[in-house]
Copies of this chain bind each other. A is one copy, B any other.
Amino acid sequence: MKYNNNLPIYMQIMDKIKKDIVLGNVQPGEKLPSTKQLAQDSQVNPNTIARVYRELEREEVTFTQRGVGTYVTKNEGVRKKLQEIMAGKVVQQFLQGMKELGFSLEEMQELIQREKEKEE
């Protein structure tokens, strides 16, 4: 058994940016902070941020204009797509965690239903 499964920092920052896109905190086409700026804000090495932007571009979430900056892709579908992917991860984690505790899908539904009733 290994007991250190932390996500690398660059992935955590990527997730944070994606979440901001999903929630509309940053809009399609909007400029993201400079590498140096974000490095300072996140208390992280600029190389790490460079990697963040490189990977985001590879995933076609952002695009980069050399000497100018990094922008959120203008493709409007990106929001929806990101939301689905990230939600999928959360759902899978939930399903796995509950299955490991011996719960069936029906029981999971009931638990969510109970939350709904609690909210009312």
Q: Is the interface of A mostly helix, strand, loop or mixed?
A: helix
A78 within 8 A of B: no
**B residues near A12, Cβ cutoff 8 Å:** 3
Q: How far is the CA of A13 from the CA of B119 in the complex (A)?
A: 34
- Binary CB contact string for chain A from 74 to 90 against chain B (1 if under 8 A, 0 otherwise): 00000000010011001
Number of A residues with CB within 8 Å of any CB on chain B? 42
**B residues near A116, Cβ cutoff 8 Å:** 105-106, 109
Question: 11 additional contacts, CB 8 Å, given A3-B44, A91-B98, A112-B112?
Answer: A1-B16, A2-B43, A4-B6, A22-B102, A23-B100, A23-B102, A83-B101, A90-B97, A93-B97, A106-B116, A109-B109
